[in-house]
Amino acid sequence: MKHVLILGAGRSASSLIRYIAAQASEASWRVVVGDVQQTLAEEKVVAYDHLEAILFDLSDEATASKYVAEQDVVISLLPPALHVTVAKLCLQHGVHLLTASYVSEEMQSLHEEAQAKGLLFLNEVGLDPGIDHLSAMAFIEDIQARGGKIEVFKSFTGGLIAPAYDNNPWHYKFTWNPQNVVLAGQGMAVYLAHNQTKLIPYQQLFKRIEPVTIQEHGAFEGYANRNSLKYKDIYNLQEVHTLLRGTLRKAGYCAAWDCFVQLGMTDPHTKISTASLTRRSFLNTFLPHHPTKSVEEKFCTFFNLQPNDTIFTQMAWLGLFEEEEIAIPPSKATPAQLLQSILASKWVLAPADKDMIVMQHQFVYTLQNQTKKLYADLVVIGEDTQHTAMAKTVGLPLGIATKLLLEGQVSLKGVHIPTHSSLYKPILANLKMHGIEFKIHETG
């Protein structure tokens, strides 16, 4: 009997657990779901009699070690900073590890030890990173196998609200970790344009947007992710002269979000007092003093807006001009934490809402002296607020990779991401069976 431990029972876990539960029934796996909030794990497994929920707390080292020691595979949906701690337990007990998170330097440093012990530590096998890797490699290797020379590669992904449920002026609701949304883009974005390395500082990121059109789904805007340059080697794109990976939002989002950036409201370091702090006074904290102007007037002056402009409407919808207290417990908090609290009360999925994942790869390549353009679009609509498009596109690649590993179809050892054909081909084929498939548009 194979033993699987799923760590983390949050937003992205539902579809992974459902998939693993189905495989466990067929293959007689023993599956345990662990979370620092045991009740959360219990809620996720209540529909599956053959799954077990446990309290899993990495601070209780002895108990955590005991649970890991019983497994063949651990799937970690814990916060990325905790993956290395789990990985070290897996090394100690000879257990494979899968995550949907980016490979950190600490995780990469475990490669040789994991390889020597015959273990696979497979990371970046979710949505983005994950399906973006799987699909990009499939398209890239197909073009190159036909003799094509890829000159431009751009890739964008967004987790958004489905059009039928898009009912607020931001055209956005939280479908994954709110903290990651608030802190998105901090640092320096690096990409390649016509063989020149380009840098975008955080203060400019949401101004430097690129229009993206998804067939049958309209206009979006993309902003650059942190480091696109490393994918030149990862994707074997040595001949490319333009390379950019980015995040998608609905049109109008970035200009409004840039106001938060310019004001400093996404700062994750400075602590300010939350005593008697309202949404209005929080916004006013970041605006210059004026003896007579109201908060609304100061905001409009600062950004050269009119009260009927879209950005003003977006801020008003969030209640930022209202004397409503911010629901946050600490006596002090960072601006980012306070902003997250405000957004979390407004950007919430209603019980009947469905979310949407959109991804687009853009290729320009030459083949037999002809320039060709290939656009590959992926759109996934969620089932409900549990089995969201985000949960499906993060969880299913993890689940499918786990199945392949336990069935002996994966021979890789050490720390890897799913850019090998032995992984991306069968995972993409299985995703297609679940309705996750790209539509291709090619010209030239």
Q: Are 290 and 298 in contact (CB under 8 A)?
A: yes
| Distances in whole angstroms, Cα of residue 390 to Cα of each of 12, 137, 146, 420 | 7, 21, 33, 24
Q: Are 313 and 168 in contact (CB under 8 A)?
A: no
Range 13-28 average pLDDT: 95
Confidence of residue 216 (pLDDT cuts 50, 70, 90): confident
At 170, give phi and psi (nearest 5°): -85, -15
What pLDDT is attached to residue 396? 98
The residue type of 119 is: L
> Tokens for 87?
């990985």
| Distances in whole angstroms, Cα of residue 270 to Cα of each of 47, 284, 304 | 43, 16, 27
Range 7-23 average pLDDT: 94
pLDDT digit string, tens, across residues 42-82: 999 999 999 999 999 999 999 999 999 999 999 999 999 99
Range 272-284 average pLDDT: 93
What pLDDT is attached to residue 414? 98
Range 379-404 average pLDDT: 96
Residue 182 has pLDDT above 90, yes or no: yes
Range 411-415 average pLDDT: 97
Range 416-421 average pLDDT: 96
Would you say domain 131-256+350-388 falls under CATH 3.30.360.10?
yes
Q: Are 428 and 138 in contact (CB under 8 A)?
A: yes
What pLDDT is attached to residue 91? 98
> Looking at the domain 3-123, which fold is it?
Rossmann fold (3.40.50)
Confidence of residue 175 (pLDDT cuts 50, 70, 90): confident
Which of these ranges, 169-183, 393-407, 410-424, has the smallest mean pLDDT?
A: 169-183
Residue 248 has pLDDT above 90, yes or no: yes
DSSP string, 323-386: --B----SSEE-HHHHHHHHHHTTS---TT--EEEEEEEEEEEEETTEEEEEEEEEEEE-SSSS
Quote the mean pLDDT of the chain: 96
Same fold, 3-123 and 131-256+350-388: no
Residue 159 has pLDDT above 80, yes or no: yes
Give the domain ranges of the chain. Answer: 3-123, 131-256+350-388, 267-344
Confidence of residue 146 (pLDDT cuts 50, 70, 90): very high
Residue 206 has pLDDT above 90, yes or no: yes
pLDDT digit string, tens, across residues 113-142: 999 999 999 999 999 999 999 999 999 999
pLDDT digit string, tens, across residues 316-362: 999 999 999 898 777 889 999 999 999 999 999 999 999 999 999 99
> Tokens for 323?
């004397």
Q: How many CB atoms lie within 10 A of CB 432?
A: 11
